[in-house]
Structure formats: structure tokens, C-alpha cells
């Protein structure tokens, strides 16, 4: 991290930023009961700004939390050409946190199956998720922490609406389909811009994703640009949209599995009152 001992203004800004991220992370953990006493939390570390920030904030909260839980950092080395294998082990050893480097050659599988020029993210994420779920079970982790933030959640909402025909996103807490794993997203309330600024000031050794990060015209990037434009033109819009997914009214949508529209009938008592008023 940059030396801020002689730069009080920057040090103050870093402290304010860290407190805000810690507060929002703590609030999300409490709201969704993400971490419980005795949990072993597997923090998935990709080498990006989000996961570095998540690990630091969770370690910070662990030191003062009223409950006891352990943290283990896990990086999935997908065998991408040129991947700097030394960076994360060196960083984690210096940090003094328990960690594992899980080696799985998902890169070769993705490149073999996905045609040239097509988006690799879908298959890559499924293979990555399967590897991490399996390893979590192997080490006895009770929670799997991912570094998705508020902007990721909103982008996924619009991706599913625009291209999937579904009104869904990334939940802050999720039970895997087989019921074996609980996935948590502690940064669910945090803005990407705050995380980006925090990571820059902390000077994390960022590792870019060369498999999918270099692909242009991804649908997610288009949605991200759209949200950024909206926020620039109408400050606070993304915050309002995020509030919306926390205040869902099924009776004012159109999903008959969530609300009994067929059984919706006029109340006889209300009808009698209407007649009395009319008289």
C-alpha cells in the first residue's frame, strides 16, 4: 500500500472509504445472516479488485465480530497462459492468512468447446463454480464468499431481463441447487466505484482475466455502460434501482406462481360498504 504517513488528506480519505465499505458489508452480513458463529468462510480470491477488497474487509470484521468464524482464501488457477502464479501466494503469505491455490485447467476446456469469437464467460463460470463447490466440500467450508458488488447485481438484473426473459439477479445469499453449499456476497451493498478507489489506494497486485476480460462487446459491458450513463445523467438512479430489488411487490407484477391472481375476488364486506356509501 502507498505510504500515506506524510499525506494526511489521502490517509483520511482512505479511512473514510474503509469505514464505509466495512459498514455496508457488515449491514449486508447482518441483513441476510451471511456468517454465523463457528462458520468456516471460503473467500474466493480471483486477483481482482473486488475479491481483494472483500478479503480485507472480512478480515477486518473478523477481528471485532461478536461471533467466532474462520477465513480461508482460495484461488482457482485456471491455467491461463501467462498467468502470474507467484503473485497471490506471495501476497497471502505476507498477509498471514490461511490459503489454498486450486489448480484446474478449465482454460483448455473452454478454448476447446467455445468457438472462436464467442463469449467464454458462461462456460468458464460454470466450470469455475463446480471446482470451487467441490473444493469447499473437501475443506469443510460452511460458506462460500464471492466478491460481487451492487453494480454486478444490477447488471445481472438487466441482463436477465433483456436477454433471459426473467426478473432475477444475484442474491446476496444463495443455496446451491444440491443444497450442499451456501454462497454469500458480502459486498452486495457496496458500490463498484468505492471498491475501485479503495483498491487503487491499497495498491493491490491486480491480476487481469486474459480469458474473458479482453473480449469486447460483451452483453454485460453494454449493460454496464448503460447504467453508467444513467447514473451520470441522473445521479442516484442506480441506488434507487437497487432499492427496488429489495422492495418487491408480487401483486403488482404478473407471475401467477408468486401471487394468486386467479383467486383474487372482490371482498363481499367491501362491496356492502360501497352500497351503503352509495345510498
Q: Is 209 annotated as a binding residue?
A: no
How far apart (Å, rounded) are the C-alpha atoms in residues 5 and 223? 40
**Residues 35 and 24 sit within 8 Å (Cβ to Cβ):** no
SS (H, E, C) the chain: CCCCCCCHHHHHHHHHHHHHHHHHHHHHHHHCCCCCCCCEEEEECCCCHHHHHHHHHHHHHHHHCCCCCEEEEEEEECCCCCCCCCHHHHHHHHHCCCEEEEECCHHHHHHHHCCCCCCCHHHHHHHHHHHHHHHHHHHCCCEEECCCCHHHHHHHHHHHHHHHCCCCCCCCEEECCCCCCEEECCCCCCCHHHHHHHHHHHCCCCCCCCCCCCCCCCHHHHHHHHHHHHHHHCCCHHHHHHHHHCCCCHHHCCCCCCCCCCCCCCCHHHHHHHHHHHC
How far apart (Å, rounded) are the C-alpha atoms in residues 121 and 141? 26
242: which strand partners?
Answer: none
Q: Is 190 annotated as a binding residue?
A: no
Residue ranges for the known binding site are 121, 124, 212
Residue ranges for the known binding site for [4Fe-4S] cluster are 121, 124, 212
Amino acid at each position: 500500500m502507498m505510504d500515506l504517513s506524510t499525506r494526511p488528506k489521502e490517509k483520511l480519505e482512505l479511512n473514510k472509504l474503509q469505514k464505509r465499505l466495512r459498514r455496508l458489508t457488515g449491514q449486508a452480513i447482518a441483513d441476510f445472516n451471511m456468517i454465523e458463529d463457528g462458520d468456516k468462510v471460503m473467500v474466493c480470491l480471483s486477483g481482482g479488485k473486488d475479491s481483494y477488497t472483500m478479503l480485507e474487509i472480512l478480515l477486518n470484521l473478523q477481528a471485532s465480530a461478536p461471533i467466532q468464524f474462520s477465513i480461508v482464501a482460495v484461488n482457482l488457477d485456471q491455467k491461463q497462459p501467462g498467468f502470474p502464479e507467484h503473485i497471490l501466494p506471495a501476497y497471502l503469505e505476507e498477509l498471514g492468512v490461511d490459503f489454498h491455490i486450486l489448480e484446474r485447467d478449465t482454460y483448455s476446456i473452454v478454448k476447446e468447446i467455445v468457438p472462436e469469437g464467442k463469449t467464454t464467460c458462461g462456460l468458464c463460470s460454470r466450470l469455475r463454480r463446480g471446482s470451487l463447490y467441490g473444493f469447499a466440500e473437501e475443506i469443510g467450508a460452511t460458506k462460500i464468499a464471492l466478491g460481487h458488488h451492487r453494480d454486478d447485481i444490477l447488471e445481472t438484473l438487466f441482463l436477465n431481463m433483456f436477454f433471459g426473459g426473467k426478473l432475477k439477479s444475484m442474491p446476496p445469499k444463495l443455496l446451491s441447487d444440491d443444497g450442499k453449499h451456501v454462497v454469500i456476497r458480502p459486498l452486495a451493498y457496496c458500490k463498484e466505484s468505492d471498491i475501485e478507489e479503495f483498491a487503487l489506494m491499497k495498491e493491490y497486485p491486480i491480476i487481469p482475466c486474459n480469458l474473458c476480460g479482453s473480449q469486447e462487446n460483451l452483453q454485460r459491458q453494454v449493460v454496464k455502460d448503460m447504467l453508467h450513463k444513467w447514473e451520470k445523467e441522473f445521479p442516484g438512479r442506480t441506488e434507487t434501482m437497487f432499492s427496488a430489488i429489495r422492495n418487491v411487490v408480487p401483486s403488482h407484477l404478473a407471475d401467477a406462481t408468486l401471487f394468486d391472481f386467479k383467486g383474487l375476488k372482490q371482498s363481499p364486506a367491501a362491496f356492502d360498504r360501497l352500497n351503503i356509501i352509495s345510498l
